[in-house]
Amino acid sequence: MKPVLCSPAPGAVPSGSPKSQVLRLITQVTIAPQLEGYDLNSNTPNGSSRSYVDMTDISVSPGQTVALECAVANVTPDKVNVNWIRQSPGQKPEGVLFFKTDLSISRAPGIPERYVPSRDASNKKFLLTIGDVQEGDDSTYFCFAYYARDASHHLQCPLCVSAGSNLPRPRIQLFPPAQEEIATGFATLTCLVSGFFPGYIDVLWRRDSQPQAQGVRTGLVALGEDKTYAVSSYLTVPASEWGSGAGYSCVVNHESLASALEESVSAKDCKRQ
């Protein structure tokens, strides 16, 4: 049996802070022989394993206009379709729009027309211009560029790509709450997820196999020096619930995984050690 980590995570749990108006663009350009994207109707992202990362943070005030750049290399821009996807902290990735070689646009449900894609073929760039920026636009944006045989395939196949076996897979470290915090009446579990690529990932919590949404806080995905990503997620519950012996699980879904990755811990496990 895999040993349970019964020491609290190093360092204090970061305190919450007001949401700043920062648009964070992470450009991941993928060139594939055929279209492999995400389905706009189900907002399910997919991709191929050949990507590179160019991360840019852009600060913008509400009401302004911002242009996010997606630069491509060694491709013919007018033969490439582009998917734009975004992910807010603690949320699942969602489709933004699909920009086709004929310059037509397919927007995901709920995406307003102030999101406008364009192509700068001479400079081998694709742009996503967001007008009248609003607080809800604060997110991490992903750009995927594809050579496509059949553009209609993109909108018809919700899950066209199997798990990327050669993509870096996430690792989970799950830490129980610190005794000092339990004495205050609360218990915070920490789930550290690292080593994955691409950067979009879904982290959720379960209590005795049941989804746990209350008390969850997930931070921003961070790019490391090894070009893989990491993210931390926290679950805070009353100390009495933790002490009851319920099992808590951190569950991760990622493109590199054929099935969800899960780690569990309970107060009972720690008492046995």
Quote the pLDDT of residue 116: 95
| Structure confidence by residue, pLDDT tens digits, 131-149 | 998 888 888 888 877 665 4
Intrachain domains 22-156 and 171-271 with the same fold? yes
Task: Specify the CATH superfamily of domain 22-156.
Answer: Immunoglobulins (2.60.40.10)
Query: How many Cα atoms within 13 Å fall on the side-chain side of residue 116?
Result: 11
Q: Please check the confidence at residue 157 and state whether its pLDDT lies above 70.
A: no
At residue 38, φ and ψ (nearest 5 deg) are -130, 155
Secondary structure (3-state) at 243: helix
Percent of the chain scoring above 70 in pLDDT: 69
Element (DSSP H or E) covering residue 271: helix 267-271
Output 205 or 197, whichever has higher pLDDT. Answer: 205
Residue ranges per domain, the chain?
A: 22-156, 171-271
Question: Is this prediction's pTM over 0.95?
Answer: no
Inter-residue long-range contacts of 120-125, CB under 8 Å, 24+ positions, other chains counted: 120/77, 121/77, 121/78, 123/71, 124/71, 124/72, 124/73, 124/75, 124/77, 125/69, 125/70, 125/71, 125/72, 125/77
Bridge partners for 56 per DSSP:
25
- Which residue, 252, 270, 257, is CA-closest to 205? 252
| Structure confidence by residue, pLDDT tens digits, 206-243 | 999 999 999 999 887 777 788 788 889 999 999 999 99
CATH class of 171-271: mainly beta
Overall residue count recorded for the chain in this entry: 273
